[in-house]
């Protein structure tokens, strides 16, 4: 799994967009090309799983993210540095230097998780 919390490539960091409004920038973990049993998965299946990913790492938040006190009376659902679960297929998907990222709306985040390993779509 891609260690999204350790983006060390300065060129990659410089190319990442700054989220605007209520958007949240997340890094999507790279999918393994093998199953837990060691079977190599076809490229099409790996791509499909990346597209439908439900786990990400919060890299940045727009200035208005979680700013609506009526909609979020208890405050933000998450913060920069959190691993999150979000709705499958949500957000705007894009790649920078071969790594997948998404811009998602603040209200599509469903949960914060301590360790993202082991989570998958049902």
pLDDT, tens digit, 9 for 90 and up, residues 68-81: 999 999 999 999 99
Full DSSP string of the chain:
---GGG---HHHHHHSPPP-TTEEEEEPPPPPSB-TTSPBPPHHHHHHHHHT--EEEEEEE-TTTT--TTT-TT--S--TT-EEEE-TT-SEEEEETTEEEEEEEGGGEEEEES--TT----
Domains defined along the chain, listed by start: 21-113 (2.30.33.40)
Please tell me the pTM assigned to this model.
0.78
- pLDDT single digits (tens) 83-117: 999 988 889 999 999 888 999 999 999 999 998 77
């Amino acid at each position: 799994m891609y260690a999204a919390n350790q983006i060390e490539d300065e060129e990659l960091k410089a190319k990442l967009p700054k989220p605007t409004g209520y958007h949240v920038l997340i890094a999507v973990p790279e999918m393994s090309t093998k199953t837990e049993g060691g079977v190599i998965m076809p490229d099409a299946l790996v791509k499909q799983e990346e597209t439908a990913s439900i786990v990400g790492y919060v890299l940045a938040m727009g200035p208005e993210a979680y700013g609506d006190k009526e909609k979020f009376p208890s405050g933000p659902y998450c913060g920069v540095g959190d691993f999150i679960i979000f709705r499958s297929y949500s957000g705007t998907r894009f790649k920078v230097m071969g790594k997948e990222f998404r811009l998602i709306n603040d209200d599509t985040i469903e949960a914060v998780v301590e360790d993202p390993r082991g989570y998958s779509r049902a």
